[in-house]
């Protein structure tokens, strides 16, 4: 065989594709050919490393050099210096890995990676997801092989139960229990489905797993199928994840070719086949019954439960439906044991959780942390804090279904119960950081508008209630809010969450409830003083000239797009509030800080 002395890992996840990794890859391979190193150096396209903010990312082994924001024109230098002469190109290294003295720090010592534990993401950024042998090289399909040849279905269920793994889609139902229900349910035909209908704005855990380690999901679904007695599975993934769909299809084809999907797997008599079903991107289709209906070819609408899918699911048959991240944990649990998994986390929430870190935070990206870590550790240490010297205000978990965690609860250990106790939820793992410049009324409106759009319309509390709630918030942010609107808003929130049919409606008012709970003053300022303390709501703010500072340079009048600033040279200028569209250009351009927002 050919032995490579160096492996160059290039992230080909969606984040890095967007920042141009394909051009880097082409340039890099051309350079390798140019100097004749293509047989010595192997280029591997992997899934997401997590530090999406710094893409395109390249790691060169055996040194483990982590190059960030690599451009096509940097490739010649990397090849000539690093690969040919063995000199690490310090200027391109991720700044946290650069040491004052000689050498460089390994990635695991950097703030971003130090507190992470990668279980579900263990192969993301390590293997080439389009080559099944790479997955097998890292113990892939060993868990399935052992389950099929050495264990009974009940033993598999017992391990998953003992591990304490709970659903990572957000609700946190014990996975082992779900499997057991489906295993015990009567039925000539059973199904295993994966929920990859990741709909929260800002969440991309499932996408990254499917892009970076699709075989882990296939293997886990096969294990689940064996445990409950199913022979057919479906992955429900949204069509707007083209890279994930493409890699998953490659992985399924390769698994079929190897006989890891199909008939008589591992000569055990167990058959399992897997198909992809594309979703059109409706948020409600992440809801169990709606998702299953959509797979069947019907309109995705929720229905009341029970019966639960484990008893009566897809095509009316017992069905296990787990989230992608839940599945990604399964092979490791089978290989390393329930005790290993349950040794991580808190009393009731075991293992790790993947969060998609976004918003006003330095290291935007994907992180996997043990349960029980605090928000402070995630935002300040792993996330690198809030950029531009701003103050951390709150973090939203669970997307539009979750709530905000204000900085007073910054040190609460994160698990399912604690997040619910402070009025938020684990959710699927979106984590949006907000700083002092975010208006909490505006944020609540943003999340609510998303649910208004995505409400399927089947039940009226959700269809009409969220619309009315959004109108109240609109009133408040536009300065027409009355004191009684706040009471009406609270009451409406309670009604919507109590009477909606599915989780979409039941959780729709969570952002409003929690943001009102923790930032009441801000809501009141909008209503009573007609002021937006964060300076976001346009209707409530004014741009004014500070007479003492204005020298009459006329720049503001020149840049104003609606010509509402008047004044002569060397005279104090005045902004006509009636005409002002509050674009803020005058404040941005003024060299004397003579224009302020109030």
Which CB sits closer to other proteins, 88 or 431? 88
Regarding beta strands 595-597 and 543-545, do their DSSP bridges make them parallel or antiparallel, or are they unpaired?
A: antiparallel
User: Do residues 367 and 382 touch, judged by C-beta distance below 8 A?
Assistant: yes
CA angle 208, 240, 197 (to 5 degrees): 65
User: How far apart are CB 334 and other proteins at their closest, in Å?
Assistant: 13
User: How far apart are CB 274 and other proteins at their closest, in Å?
Assistant: 15
Tell me the C-alpha to C-alpha distance, in Å, between residue 418 and each of 161, 405, 555: 22, 11, 53
Which CB sits closer to other proteins, 149 or 494? 149
Kindly tell me the burial class for residue 155, based on how many C-beta atoms sit within 10 Å of its own C-beta (0-12, 13-18, 19 or more): exposed
User: How far apart are CB 149 and other proteins at their closest, in Å?
Assistant: 6
Return d(Cα 48, Cα 403) in angstroms, integer.
27
Which CB sits closer to other proteins, 142 or 574? 142
Element (H, E) at 574: strand 574-575
User: How far apart are CB 370 and other proteins at their closest, in Å?
Assistant: 20
User: Do residues 385 and 229 touch, judged by C-beta distance below 8 A?
Assistant: no
User: Do residues 255 and 215 touch, judged by C-beta distance below 8 A?
Assistant: yes
User: Do residues 360 and 386 touch, judged by C-beta distance below 8 A?
Assistant: yes
Which CB sits closer to other proteins, 142 or 596? 142
Which CB sits closer to other proteins, 271 or 474? 271
Return d(Cα 362, Cα 110) in angstroms, integer.
14
First-to-last C-alpha distance (Å) of the chain: 70
Return d(Cα 518, Cα 520) in angstroms, integer.
6
User: How far apart are CB 128 and other proteins at their closest, in Å?
Assistant: 9
User: How far apart are CB 182 and other proteins at their closest, in Å?
Assistant: 25
User: How far apart are CB 39 and other proteins at their closest, in Å?
Assistant: 9
Number of H helices, E strands in the chain: 25, 18
User: How far apart are CB 126 and other proteins at their closest, in Å?
Assistant: 6
Which CB sits closer to other proteins, 36 or 389? 36
Return d(Cα 328, Cα 245) in angstroms, integer.
16
Which CB sits closer to other proteins, 127 or 560? 127
Tell me the C-alpha to C-alpha distance, in Å, between residue 490 and each of 402, 438, 481: 16, 21, 14
Which CB sits closer to other proteins, 140 or 400? 140
Which CB sits closer to other proteins, 1 or 569? 1
User: Do residues 504 and 456 touch, judged by C-beta distance below 8 A?
Assistant: yes
Kindly tell me the burial class for residue 342, based on how many C-beta atoms sit within 10 Å of its own C-beta (0-12, 13-18, 19 or more): middle
Which CB sits closer to other proteins, 62 or 306? 62
Which CB sits closer to other proteins, 86 or 306? 86
User: How far apart are CB 145 and other proteins at their closest, in Å?
Assistant: 5
User: Do residues 59 and 9 touch, judged by C-beta distance below 8 A?
Assistant: yes
Which CB sits closer to other proteins, 126 or 575? 126
Q: The tokens 């009566």 sit on which residue?
A: 312
Return d(Cα 84, Cα 35) in angstroms, integer.
8
User: How far apart are CB 336 and other proteins at their closest, in Å?
Assistant: 16
User: How far apart are CB 167 and other proteins at their closest, in Å?
Assistant: 29
Regarding beta strands 430-435 and 392-397, do their DSSP bridges make them parallel or antiparallel, or are they unpaired?
A: antiparallel
DSSP bridge pairs for 125? none
DSSP bridge pairs for 345? 350
User: How far apart are CB 106 and other proteins at their closest, in Å?
Assistant: 6
Which CB sits closer to other proteins, 5 or 482? 5
Contact positions vs other proteins (CB under 8 A): 1-7, 9, 40, 61-64, 83-87, 106, 108, 126-127, 133-134, 136-139, 141-142, 145-146, 149, 258-260, 265-267
Collapsing DSSP states into helix, strand and coil, what is residue 462? helix
User: Do residues 554 and 570 touch, judged by C-beta distance below 8 A?
Assistant: no
Q: Which of 422, 471, 424, 423 is nearest to 445 (CA)?
A: 471
User: Would the CA dihedral through 486, 489, 493, 499 be positive or negative?
Assistant: positive
User: How far apart are CB 466 and other proteins at their closest, in Å?
Assistant: 48
Which CB sits closer to other proteins, 41 or 357? 41
Two tokens, residue 353: 């959780």
Buried b (16+ CB within 10 A) or exposed e, 344-375: bbbeebbbbbbbbbbbbbbbbbbbbbbbbbbb
User: How far apart are CB 3 and other proteins at their closest, in Å?
Assistant: 4
């Amino acid at each position: 065989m050919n032995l490579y002395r160096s492996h160059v890992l290039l992230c080909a996840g969606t984040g890095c594709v967007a920042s141009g990794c394909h051009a880097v890859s082409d340039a890099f391979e051309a350079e390798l050919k140019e100097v004749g190193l293509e047989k010595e150096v192997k280029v591997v396209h992997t899934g997401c490393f997590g530090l999406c903010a710094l893409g395109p990312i390249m790691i060169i082994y055996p040194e483990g050099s982590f190059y960030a924001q690599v451009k096509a024109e940097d490739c010649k230098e990397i090849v000539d210096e690093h690969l040919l002469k063995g000199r690490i190109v310090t200027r391109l290294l991720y700044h946290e890995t650069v040491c004052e003295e000689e050498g460089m720090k390994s990635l695991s010592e950097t703030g971003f990676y130090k507190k992470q534990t990668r279980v579900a993401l263990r192969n993301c950024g390590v293997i080439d997801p389009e080559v099944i042998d790479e997955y097998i090289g890292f113990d892939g399909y060993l868990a399935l092989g052992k389950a099929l040849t050495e264990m009974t279905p009940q033993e598999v269920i017992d391990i998953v139960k003992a591990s304490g793994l709970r659903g990572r889609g957000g609700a946190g139902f014990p996975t082992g229990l779900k499997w057991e229900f489906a295993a015990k349910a009567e039925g000539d035909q059973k199904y295993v489905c994966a929920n990859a209908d990741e709909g929260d704005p800002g969440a991309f855990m499932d996408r990254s797993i499917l892009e970076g380690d699709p075989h882990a999901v296939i293997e886990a679904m096969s294990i689940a199928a064996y445990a409950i007695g199913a022979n057919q599975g479906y992955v429900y993934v949204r069509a707007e994840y083209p890279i994930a769909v493409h890699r998953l299809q490659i992985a399924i084809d390769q698994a079929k070719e190897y006989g890891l999907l199909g008939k008589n797997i591992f000569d055990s008599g167990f058959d399992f086949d897997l198909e992809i079903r594309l979703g059109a991107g409706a948020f409600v289709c992440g809801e169990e019954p709606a998702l299953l209906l959509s797979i069947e070819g019907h309109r995705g609408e929720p229905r009341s439960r029970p019966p639960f899918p484990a008893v009566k699911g897809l095509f009316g048959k017992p069905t296990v439906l787990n989230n992608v991240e839940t599945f990604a944990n399964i092979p490791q649990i089978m290989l390393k044991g329930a005790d290993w998994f349950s040794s991580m986390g808190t009393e009731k929430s075991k293992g790790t959780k993947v969060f998609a870190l976004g918003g006003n935070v330095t290291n935007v990206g994907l992180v996997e942390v043990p349960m029980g870590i605090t928000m402070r550790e995630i935002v300040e240490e792993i996330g690198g804090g809030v950029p531009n010297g701003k103050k951390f205000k709150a973090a939203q978990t669970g997307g539009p279904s979750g709530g905000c965690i204000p900085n007073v609860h910054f040190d609460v250990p994160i698990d399912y119960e604690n997040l619910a106790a402070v009025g938020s939820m684990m959710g699927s793992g979106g984590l949006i950081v907000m700083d002092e410049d975010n208006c909490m009324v505006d944020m609540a409106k943003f999340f609510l508008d998303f649910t208004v759009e995505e409400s399927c319309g089947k039940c009226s509390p959700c269809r009409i209630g969220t619309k009315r709630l959004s109108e109240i918030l609109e009133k408040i942010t536009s300065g027409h809010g009355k004191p009684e609107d706040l009471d009406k808003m609270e009451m409406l929130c309670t009604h919507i969450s109590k009477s909606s049919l599915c989780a979409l409606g039941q959780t729709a008012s969570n952002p409003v409830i929690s943001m009102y709970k923790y930032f009441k003053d801000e809501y009141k300022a909008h209503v009573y003083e007609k002021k937006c303390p964060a300076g976001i709501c346009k209707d409530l703010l004014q741009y004014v000239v500070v007479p003492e500072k204005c020298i009459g340079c006329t720049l503001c009048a020149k840049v104003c797009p609606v010509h509402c600033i008047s004044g002569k040279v060397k005279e104090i200028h005045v902004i006509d509030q009636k005409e002002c569209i509050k674009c803020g250009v005058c404040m941005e351009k003024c060299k004397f800080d003579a224009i302020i927002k109030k």
